[in-house]
Amino acid sequence: MAGANKSEKSNKSEKAASATTGAKTVSRARVPRHPRNPVAKAIQRPRTQQPVQHPGDPESPRAPVPRAPGALLVLFGAKGDLVKRLLLPALYNLTRDGLLGDDVDILGVDHNPNTDAAFRSQLKVFVKAQAVKKVKPAVHAATSKKLQRTHFDTAVWNDLAKRIHYLQGDFLAPDTYAQIQQRIDAHANGNAVFYLATAPRFFGDVVGQLAQNGLLAESGGAFRRIVIEKPFGSDLASAIALNQRILSSASEQQIYRIDHFLGKETVQNILVSRFANGLFETFWNNHYIDHIQITAAETVGVEERANFYDHTGALRDMVPNHLLQLVAMIAMEPPAAFGADALRAEKAKVIGAIRPQTAAEARANSVRAQYRAERLNGAPVPGYREEENVKRGSQTETYVALKLFIDNWRWMGVPFYLRTGKRMSVRDTEIAICFKPAPYAQFRDTAVDRMQPNYLTFQIQPDEGMWFDFQAKQPGPELRLSNIQMGFAYADYFSMTPSTGYETLIYDCLIGDQTLFQRADNIENGWRAVQPFLDAFAAADSPQVAHYAAGSEGPKEADALLERDGRSWHKLG
């Protein structure tokens, strides 16, 4: 491995010693940033995988995960991309893994005319594309270490497809709901999940129609649940109003406000890493942590979402939902138990503790920008204002950076820097925790000119895993330090089958586990934290949106946001 300065003979000796003792070899340096070398043992297996006992693992395999209970899954907005590209592939994966039985039926509802056979045929194209992927087997697997292509299982698809049906109907017409009621009555147990994969403007109306037509009434042990996609509101006032409208028709226990980020294994692993490893809690506070950075960078532009995006922007699209959920996972207090109520209460508390900012503070602690035209890989890439369906002279941001504080005992004085943008240099979602540097005094009369900070990085996507930076002495007579990275990559330890991130969330909804779904107060606290920045961006005296080159790491104004605090952004990629 580059930078390790180890001879081949030395490497062989270390491997032999590891094989003799049963220990795992630990990476001492790594370049590039994400090696394929396992150095940690995961605590929580992906829910959609059956447990496997690895060599040297003292634990016996756990019992298989039980199948979800039977239900009719009603998908409003069935012709949309969300259903085709994410939800149906997730349902296929759950069926493949034995977590959905023959008693889970799917009913797609949309205003466009269609038939059951045509609907199934259209969905098969997308499910097959998701199923056929190249994946790297786990290091511990007995199979080849080369990339392996997963396959589309026709038998699994046929088993699922026979339970997929289509209903043409207007979301606002009572007759649509009468027909849905007939389908529920015909189902074996009367359970139903209503998934709102629609435009946000329909959320309140669909829930109201469900209630008015008696579809939310629970009796005889049957459940009725509603899944609502983001965005949940467009500001604090609209989020409060939508919560009030929905809660007037259904109870909080029936509502599953979904954020697909929470379905990612690496996001769930944040909690396990924090609370199942005793070493972290000691230094998880403002005594040892200097600051925290949370990044969600995308290489794509707005593409076909321009109509939606130009009225939304990066702040509304990403911060109240995805980024603040990551803040909650990192910053929350340990829950009394890992049940839904306890965990969601702690998340709501910590988001509610985000410091309110005045108009002047919001302007000073934020940057908004748009990508401009550039040549990438020899081809021209349009700027945001040149994208189709974007208003000329638009001030909508495709990049936003914020500086937040959490006013509680644990995090007082620790800044949280958030950034998200489109057309960035690499695709990278990560949480970088920067620890306070060690004292320099003992190195003053040496060749060491400065101390590098230690970072603990949770890599959400791609190259999912955890990485820790620390200082080590370079070989040689002089005292010189190198920044070394030690890490754990999910793909090195687990056989990662293709997934969309929705599998765990759909399964949890069917079994009635709300742990990974947002509660009303959490939604409102998130918008409450973001509202000062929305107001600052909308103010008449707001500065014009800044710009950054497509394919870069963002605008220079975002660099200045940290530089004035004597800090810098963690490098992307």
**CATH, residue 172:** 3.40.50.720
What does the pLDDT read at residue 446? 54
26 has pLDDT over 60: no
Distance of CA 89 to the CA centre of its chain: 18
19-28, 335-344, 468-477, range with greatest mean pLDDT: 335-344
Is 46 inside a domain boundary? Answer: no
Catalytic residue chosen out of the listed positions 34, 291, 322, 570: 322
34 is a catalytic site residue: no
Tell me the Ramachandran region of residue 465: left when phi exceeds 0, alpha when psi lies from -120 to 50, beta otherwise: left
| pLDDT band, residue 443 (cuts 50/70/90) | low
Is 440 inside a domain boundary? Answer: no
| pLDDT band, residue 445 (cuts 50/70/90) | low
Reading the block at residue 157, the tokens are 């698809």
Reading the block at residue 431, the tokens are 């949480």
140 has pLDDT over 80: no
- For 273-317, list the strands marked E by DSSP: 289-297
Helix (H) / strand (E) containing 381: strand 379-381
Residue reference for tokens 């795992």: 24
* CA distances for 363 relative to 123, 315, 399, 527, angstroms: 46, 14, 15, 17
Collapsing DSSP to helix, strand or coil, 235 comes out as: coil
Model pLDDT for residues 175-230, shown as the tens digit of each residue: 999 999 999 999 878 999 999 999 999 999 999 999 999 999 998 899 999 999 98
Of 550, 548, 236, the closest CA to residue 368 belongs to 548
Supply the angle between the helices 116-131 and 154-161 in degrees, to the nearest 10: 150
148 has pLDDT over 50: yes
Determine the residue type at 33. R
CA dihedral sign of residues 36, 40, 46, 52: positive
Q: Which structural domain, as residue segments, surrounds residue 186?
A: 71-136+149-258
First-to-last CA distance in the chain? 18
Q: Going by C-beta distance under 8 Å and a sequence separation of 6 or more, which residues neighbour residue 482?
A: 3, 29, 471, 472, 473, 474
Residue 459's φ and ψ, nearest 5 degrees, are: -90, 110
| pLDDT band, residue 470 (cuts 50/70/90) | confident
Is 248 inside a domain boundary? Answer: yes
Number of helical H runs and strand E runs in the chain: 19, 19
Is 127 inside a domain boundary? Answer: yes
CA dihedral sign of residues 496, 497, 502, 505: negative
Is 372 inside a domain boundary? Answer: no
Is 117 inside a domain boundary? Answer: yes
10 has pLDDT over 80: no
The one-character DSSP state at 200 is G
Nearest-angstrom CA–CA distance, 181 and 224: 12
User: Whats the size of the chain, residue-wise?
Assistant: 573
Reading the block at residue 543, the tokens are 């500065």
Count: domains in the chain: 1
What does the pLDDT read at residue 448? 52
Q: What is the pTM of this model?
A: 0.84
Model pLDDT for residues 285-339, shown as the tens digit of each residue: 999 999 999 999 999 998 878 888 999 999 999 999 899 999 999 999 999 887 8
Bridge partner residues of 224 (DSSP): 192
What does the pLDDT read at residue 27? 36
Is 279 inside a domain boundary? Answer: no
| pLDDT band, residue 442 (cuts 50/70/90) | low
| pLDDT band, residue 131 (cuts 50/70/90) | confident
Is 104 inside a domain boundary? Answer: yes
